[in-house]
Structure 1
Amino acid sequence: MLKHRLLKEIKGCVFIKAIIFDFDGTLADTLPICFNAFQFVFKEFDNREITPEEIKTMFGPSETGIIRENLMNSNYDQAIEMYYQKYGDYHQDLVTENKEINDLLLYLKTEGYKLAIVTGKARRSLEISMDCLNMRDVFDVIITGDDVELPKPNPEGINKVLSILNIKNNEAVFLGDSDADIQAGLGAQVYTIGVQWLPNYQSLEFSVKPNQLVKSPSEFRELLIDII
């Protein structure tokens, strides 16, 4: 029975009950649309050309936090609205559904795992992406940058998921593509997996070593069988 396959042991004594994901660069190849929208904003309001690498250094807070902390022009509200407008307008052109990831999520749901997202994105942009990628009803818990006081690499978001699901840290796995993800996962003392399975991801090499590194969704499925 599939339900019974949920109850798989890790190290002989603990069961994995939840799979927690980062979003940008992990569940969806959304980094290009993030870069594009930020570049529009900084060009329009600061007359400044910024590179994707410069934008990556700003990651941590939500998009609204990034704009408020890094824009020299003080018209923050207008700049934030432009960001969301461009993010939505260009999403279909720059972001496509990934069948391997969709299949993985379906597999995990079928197996009975609880699924969660912990992302630095604001809820508004996450909802745009989830609508475009047909992910609306997949996840049991979603924690965005709007829902925490301290963004990743602080483990607050992951700890919130554990609390809401009422599970222990050794009953969850966290997957992410950035150093901040790995640090947050290790800080929350969950089994932490670095992923490099989309065309655009944040960390070529992790400064803090995750428990595992995987290069494809199918490799994660195999690893999940091995660690449980």
Structure 2
Amino acid sequence: MNTDITTLLFDLDGTLINTNDLIIASFTATLNHYYPDKYQREDILPFMGPPLYDTFVSLDPERVEEMIARYREHNLANHDLMVKEFDGVYDTVKALKEAGYKLAIVSTKMHDTVVRGLQVTRLAEFFDVVIGLDDVENAKPDPEPVLKALKLLNSVPEEAIMVGDNHHDVLSGKNAGTKTAGVAWTAKGREYLNQFEPDFMLESMEDLLGILKVAGK
């Protein structure tokens, strides 16, 4: 084990599991209901990452809860059919767990939906801590979710890396004092993520094993 790092914190959607098509489809179905044919895929990409409330309140403060409910209904109805882990994720996370690293999920999704995604992709057994949107007062990029995960893992920021596909993940890690890693497969493009200067940019999830000098890599 790399003696400097003991803890890996992961975003879920777009980082460990490929929910991009599911999220875009859920936003499309919701937005088309209220604003027929107004939003295309490129218009929806900026909505990926922040909490749903932040997105929908910026569009219609009067109907934000109604829009969230419609989005979640579509998302959950299609969840298990459309979700799968990215290449290399399962084997990498398994190797990290077996090497003794502390692992947690830090997401802006609701806790139960995070757990469902982990179960569908067979990743649930590797994570001792899951922090969802409803587990904190302040979502990423606030440091609260990262710091709460670290506290529950008995870890400290100096020994952790926050891994994610969105600037909210990188900034949350930086604000909490951890190292940060971006993933080059982010739906928004690596150039977008590079603007926020993560400490590492992963071309594949297996890159973590080399960075951490996990035995055999």
RMSD: 2.4
Q: Could you tell me which amino acid in structure 2 is paired with residue 204 of structure 1? A: R
- The match for 1:58 is 47
SS of equivalent residue, structure 1 residue 134: coil
2:144 to 132, 156, 171: 156
Cα shift readout 1:17-74 (whole Å, capped 9, x = no counterpart): 2110111111111122111101101112343532333333334542355334434662
Partner residue, 2:175: 187
Alignment of 1:37-186 (within 5 A): 37-47=26-36, 49-71=38-60, 74=63, 76-77=65-66, 79-186=67-174
- CA distance in structure 2 between the aligned counterparts of 1:17 and 1:32, rounded to whole angstroms: 33
Residue 15 of structure 2 contacts residue 164 of structure 2 at CA under 8 Å; is this kept in 1?
Answer: yes
Segments of 4+ moved more than 4 angstroms: none
Q: C-alpha displacement at 1:211, in angstroms?
A: 1.0
Please tell me the residue identity of whatever aligns with 1:66.
T
* CA-to-aligned-CA distance 1:179-218 (integer Å, 9 cap, x gap): 221111111111111111x4x5334222121111110122
SS at match of 1:201: coil
Q: 184, 204, 213: which one pairs with 1:225?
A: 213
SS at match of 1:109: helix
Q: 1:72-107, CA deviations, whole angstroms, 9 ceiling, x for partnerless residues?
A: 662734x33332232133334433334510001111
Size of the aligned set, in residue pairs, is: 212
Q: Which has the larger radius of gyration?
A: 1
1:215 and 2:181 are equivalent in the alignment: no
Match of 2:188 in 1: 202
Q: Distance in 1 between matches of 2:130 and 2:96?
A: 16
Unaligned runs of 5+ in 1: 11-15
Q: Check 1:112–1:158 CA distance in 2 against 1; reply closer, same or farther (3 A cut).
A: same
Q: Which amino acid aligns with 1:202?
A: K
Greater Cα offset, 18-27 or 42-51: 42-51
Task: Give 1:13's aligned residue.
Answer: none
Letter of the 1:27 partner, please give it: L
Matched position secondary structure for 1:88: helix
- TM-score normalized by structure 1? 0.81
Q: Is the 8 A contact 2:179 2:199 kept in 1?
A: yes
Distance 1:193 1:170 in 2: 14
Structure 2 stretches lacking a partner, 5+ long: none
Question: TM-score scaled by structure 2?
Answer: 0.85
Give the counterpart letter for 2:207 in structure 1: E
CA spacing shift, 1:133–1:97, aligned 2, 3 Å: same
